[in-house]
Amino acid sequence: MAQRIYLIDDDEAIRFSLSALLATMGWETQTYESVQRFQESEPDLQSLNGCLLLDIRMPGKSGITLLENWQSMGSTLPVIMMTGHGSIDLCRRAFKNGAFEFLTKPIDADLLIETVSAALEQQKQSQQQRENQTDLLVKLATLSAREQEVMALIMQGKSNKEMARDLSLSPRTVEAHRASLFARLEINSLAKLIKIYGGLKGTT
């Protein structure tokens, strides 16, 4: 799914000018005049890919209110806050609630492009990490109970002889299980096993 910039601002002139600027970079921008319209149009936030440009103060539901509920709504989309009335308290509040960046209007064109580019790259990396994690979980699910036992003992730093003793198996059988689990996980070294196992533990 292609990345897209979601722009929420009640000022039509700003929506038009920022969309035109972002288009010069080849980026697609979807604009909304209010938080309510955005939520009506995009009910499935978890499926969005790109970043959000969000004005802080708007009639109805404010941008800062949306930001405060953003993570609990299930979205990992980076949020760039915009305001024409910046203050230290607002800035601190935005970052406390996970804002990617806080920009003050009028927004410098180069700064906006740089910030959006960084946000899109972060989202791309996060998406790739989630896809890799899903792929890893699928592969781990194919391991037999014995292969999982062998993997756990490998992670404890035990040798084939020690694993054979702990599992009441022959060293040759342990080696066969070890080779099988490496093949199922599509890895060829202990270092890669440690890396993916560490990544799995970091998400559980």
- SS3 percent helix, strand, coil of the chain, rounded to 5, is 60, 10, 30
* Domains detected in the chain: 4-126 (3.40.50.2300), 142-201 (1.10.10.10)
Q: Is the pLDDT of residue 198 over 70?
A: no
Residue in 155, 156, 153, 176 with CA at minimum distance from that of residue 165 = 153
- Per DSSP, helices labelled H in 60-159 are 63-70, 88-96, 109-141, 145-155
User: Per residue in 20-77, pLDDT tens?
Assistant: 999 999 999 999 999 999 999 998 888 899 999 999 988 888 999 999 989 888 788 9
Sign of the Cα pseudo-torsion (157, 159, 164, 166, in order): negative
Statement: residue 202 has pLDDT above 60: no
Q: Are 94 and 56 in contact (CB under 8 A)?
A: yes
Q: What is the pTM of this model?
A: 0.69
Q: 93 exposed, middle or buried (CB, 10 Å; 0-12, 13-18, 19+)?
A: middle
